[in-house]
Structure formats: C-alpha cells, structure tokens
C-alpha cells in the first residue's frame, strides 16, 4: 500500500506541474485523485502532494521506459518516474543482470505491448450491451466484466491510448464514476512458461516493483 501511495504521489506531482493544482480544470489530476480513492489513499496525503507539487522549488519527475527480457525469454517492460536518471537506469540494469535477464533497446517490445486506455467501474444493474453502443463514438474497443480481489463484478473498458480523454468525458456524461482510469501496456501475445520458470521471472519483477523509481512493470507470461 505504501508503494502505491508513493507512486500516486509522483503522478500527482507530474499532473500538477503539467496542468495546475485544480482538478476541475486538470483532467489528468482529476483521474489520479479518483485512482487514489480506489486504493484508499488518505485525503490529507493527496492534498499534501498537490500542495508540494505547487511549490516552484519542487522538482518534477521524468518518465522513462525500459525494455528487456527476463530469464527464459519473457519480455518485460518497465515504466519509471525519476528525478535522477543515472540512478534509475543503473538500478534497472542491475536487476535484469543479477536475475539472469537482459536489458534491451527502447522500442524493441513495441510488437508485443500496445498502450491502451483502461477504465474500470462497478456495473451495478446497468445494461452493458446498451452501454457498448453509447460508447462506440468515444472509441470503445472492448467492454467485459471480471471479478476483483473480493470476488465482486468489475466492468473493464479498453480504448486506444489517444482516446483516453474522449472516453473519460463520455463516462462523465453518462454519470459513470470510474473506479480507476489508467494507461496500461496490454500484451498482444503470450509467452508460455513452466511453474519453475515463473519463479525465476518473478525474482526480477519483484525487485523492479520494490524500486521507488518504478511506476509499473508489465510482462506477457501466460497465466
């Protein structure tokens, strides 16, 4: 939970630096605040991050993406937000090397991962078939229902990366409050691994996710 709060705090800083501290006029910030509610981030911590980011002396974070292969040839993509690029690249490279993986060139995994806009919300008694037709003009690509960690139904929407703002406005217009709204890397193909190989790959993923500069880690291991 603390790691999630730290990552959201960085996103708040970047959003405020880019579009100001008012969520009414800054859709990116408004989205992050919504995401913070979904993980029960304390309101005072959100407000403190906004206030800190509004300070001109507060440094911004640079977003960098690293791509490589974990043991057994599993593609891994790492999104980071950092105020020290030398530290971040050195750490990420060491994680890959020490766990038997290799860090690759940027863009080398473009054929495996596609950046998508992903929205989730509680469907309730809403007619999802009707909703699909209402959201086509907003760029809807896919709408399905899955279970969350508590076993409750959660509706998931996929749109193209560039349609994030359009879908966000469409959902607001329909009175749907997203549980989360994120830009994610969705694998287009999957890599089969054995149970023992999964353990090897997870050693790398765990090390990456423990790093304060890492915002998200994606892989395409088949479930």
26-35 pLDDT per residue, tens: 888 888 888 8
Instruction: State the average pLDDT over residues 102-109.
Output: 88
17-66 pLDDT per residue, tens: 888 889 888 888 888 888 888 788 889 999 999 998 888 777 889 999 99
On whether both 39 and 72 belong to a single domain, the answer is no
141-168 pLDDT per residue, tens: 999 999 887 888 999 999 999 999 899 8
| Per-residue pLDDT at 218 exceeds 90 | yes
pLDDT at 39: 83
On whether both 117 and 181 belong to a single domain, the answer is yes
pLDDT at 197: 94
Cα(152)–Cα(146) distance, integer angstroms: 8
Confidence band (pLDDT; 50, 70, 90) for 220? very high
pLDDT at 28: 84
On whether both 14 and 70 belong to a single domain, the answer is no
Q: Which domain holds residue 69?
A: 62-111+188-219
pLDDT at 142: 94
pLDDT at 144: 94
| pTM score of the predicted model | 0.82
Instruction: State the average pLDDT over residues 127-137.
Output: 93
Q: End of a domain among 54, 70, 86?
A: 54
Q: Give the number of domains in the chain.
A: 3
Query: What percentage of the chain has pLDDT greater than the value 70?
Result: 100
Domain at 11, CATH number = 1.10.10.200
On whether both 129 and 92 belong to a single domain, the answer is no
DSSP notation for 114-156: EEEEEEEE--TT--HHHHHHHHGGGTEEEEEEEE-TTS-EEEE
Give the C-alpha distances (Å, rounded to integers) separating 56 from 8, 50, 133. 20, 12, 45
């Amino acid at each position: 939970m603390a790691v999630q709060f730290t990552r959201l705090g960085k996103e708040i800083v970047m959003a405020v630096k880019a579009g100001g501290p008012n969520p009414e006029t800054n859709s990116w910030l408004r989205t992050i605040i919504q995401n913070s509610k979904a993980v029960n981030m304390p309101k005072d911590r959100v407000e403190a991050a906004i206030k800190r980011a509004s300070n001109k002396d507060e440094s911004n974070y640079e977003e960098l993406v690293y791509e490589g292969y974990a043991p057994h040839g599993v593609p891994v993509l790492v999104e980071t937000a950092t105020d020290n690029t030398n530290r971040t690249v050195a750490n990420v490279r060491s994680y890959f090397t020490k766990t038997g993986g290799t860090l690759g060139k940027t863009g080398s995994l473009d054929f495996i991962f596609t950046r998508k806009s992903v929205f989730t919300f509680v469907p309730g008694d809403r007619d999802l078939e009707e909703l699909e037709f209402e959201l086509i003009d907003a760029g809807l690509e896919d709408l399905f229902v899955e279970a969350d960690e508590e076993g409750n139904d959660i509706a998931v929407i996929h749109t193209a990366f560039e349609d994030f703002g359009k879908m966000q406005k469409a959902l607001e217009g329909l009175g749907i409050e997203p549980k989360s709204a994120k830009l994610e890397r969705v694998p287009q193909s999957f890599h089969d691994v054995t149970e023992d190989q999964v353990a090897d790959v997870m050693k790398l993923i765990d090390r990456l996710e423990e790093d304060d500069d890492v915002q998200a880690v994606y892989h395409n291991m088949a479930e």
